[in-house]
Each structure stands twice: as structure tokens, then as C-alpha cells.
Structure 1
Amino acid sequence: MRLAVKGGAYVVGLTVAQTNLIRGSLLVLTELEISPERMIVQFGCQKSDLDAMVERLNPITRTGAELDLTPGELRMIYLALWQVPEMFGSEEAFHTRLGFFTEETRGLARELLAAVDRAA
């Protein structure tokens, strides 16, 4: 993951796999039947924020993505990566739904934090 600070925002470069992993994790959250208040407390955003980010991460098959993200958007992505694996009863269920393994999701979350540290 490439990350640079630019004018108070983060410019994040993602591979195809990273883009699809993030998008899949966010899609899981958009399907939750929880109150708007809980969504904000647990994931730091509103459902409309998730929907907008999913749209920005349309499946990209060849190029990956480069996004300008606010700190809040970056936090939303981190929380999705960190918390979504806990929503599945098994590794198999997670892999079947997202096509990735939980360690890939958690690894990308850790990589995101490390990239922020390097950019700071």
C-alpha cells in the first residue's frame, strides 16, 4: 500500500487485490441491519458514507485504485478491515463470502496503520 499526505488528505495507492478486499469488507457493512447510531459508534461513519466509498472502489480488474481520502474515510476503511472478520463464524464462511482469508484482511489493516506512521 502506498500512502502519502497531501494537503490534509491522504493519497492512497492500492493494488487490485487490496481494492477488492477493502470493497468486499465495506459491502459486508452496508448489509448490516443496525441503527444509524450504532453504525456511527461501531464503524465511525454513516451507511451513506459506506455506500459512497463502495462506489469509489468499483471492482477494478487491472489497475488497482488511487484515492484521495480524508482521515475519517481512512478510519472507516481501517475499522472495516479490522472488524469484519469477527462477524463470521468461521474462516471458511469469511473466505466464501469475500474470497480472502482473515489474515489478509487483518494484515492490510496493520499495513494501513504502518503506512500512516511512515507518512506522518
Structure 2
Amino acid sequence: MRTQVRAGSRTEAGVALRFTAPQRDAILSVAELMRSLSIGAAEFETQVGGSREDIERIESRLRQSADDAEIDLTMTEVHLIHAALMASHNQFAGEEDFYVRIGFFRENIAGLARGIVRAVGQLST
């Protein structure tokens, strides 16, 4: 999976980013995993910075977006995606279990999170 996320543009509310189909699939897999955790709302919010409903709204928008299309995200939504990607690392003891559940390797997910940060940084300069 390519980890470079293409920066679209700054928007009034945040940023527009372009995700490839595999990147979008990785984010959706991680979001599904995080929502399925048997933890309380406070524990969930501690890990991802928002509620399950916040993650569901982002998932819905990602599912509706076309491949490689710009998706407008608030900075809060960007943070939720980044935090979910990074929090997913802690959910499994082994790499194999992570891969079986998510469908991607940990280094791909971490690379995607870094790619999001770089893309947002490009729009800030």
C-alpha cells in the first residue's frame, strides 16, 4: 500500500485529502475494528479522541467517496483518523493477528498515519 497521502487543498473547515482505494480500505478496516472494541465510551474517546458515532460518520463519508476523490475533513476528523490508525496498533499482541483482522501490516498503518500528517503539513506551508 502506498503511504503517501495526496494533499488536496485547505478548506474553510480544514483540509481536503485524496486517499487511494487501499488507503481508504485501511482506514475503514481500522475504524471498524476500533468501533467493535468492547470498551466504554470514555475509554474509546481516550484512544481516538471522539465517539463511536464520530468514527461512523467519517466511515460513511469515506464509503461514499470515489476512488482518489478529494474528501473534505475538519482538523478534528483528521485527528480522529490519525488517532484510530495509531491506536489500532495496541489492540493485538502479534503482527499476524493484526494482519488477519485489519488486512494490512502494522507498518502500513503507521506509514499511512505519517502520510496523513505530511499531507496536512504540506497544506500548512
Matched residue, 1:117? 121
**Aligned-residue CA RMSD (Å):** 1.7
Secondary structure, aligned partner of 2:63: coil
Distance 1:66 1:117, change over 3 A: same
Larger RCO (CA under 8 A, 6+ residues apart): 2
Q: Determine the C-alpha separation between the residues in 1 that align with 2:38 and 2:104.
A: 23
TM-score in terms of structure 2 length: 0.86
**Preserved contact between residue 19 and residue 65 of structure 1 (Cα < 8 Å):** no
The aligned counterpart of 1:37 is: 42
TM normalised by structure 1 equals 0.90
- Tell me which residue corresponds to 2:51: 46
Q: Please list every run of at least 4 consecutive aligned residues from structure 1 whose deviation after the TM superposition is greater than 6 angstroms.
A: none
Deviation at 1:90, TM superposition (A): 1.0
Q: Say if 2:97 is the partner of 1:93.
A: yes
Q: Could you tell me whether the CA contact under 8 Å between 1:94 and 1:101 is conserved in 2?
A: yes
Deviation at 1:29, TM superposition (A): 0.8
Deviations 1:47-93 (A, max 9, x none): 11111112222287x82443110111000000111110221121111
2:17 equivalent to 1:12: yes
Instruction: Give the equivalent residue in structure 1 for 2:107.
Output: 103
Within the candidate set 14, 23, 28, 2:28 is matched to 23
Aligned length: 119
CA-CA distance at 1:41 after TM superposition:
2.2
Q: Percent identity?
A: 29
Distance 1:78 1:46 in 2: 14
Give me the whole-angstrom Cα distance separating, in 2, the residues matched to 1:42 and 1:25. 13
Structure 1: unaligned runs, 5 residues or longer? none
Mind listing any 5+ residue stretches in structure 2 that lack a counterpart?
A: none
Query: 2:87 corresponds to which letter in structure 1?
Result: Q
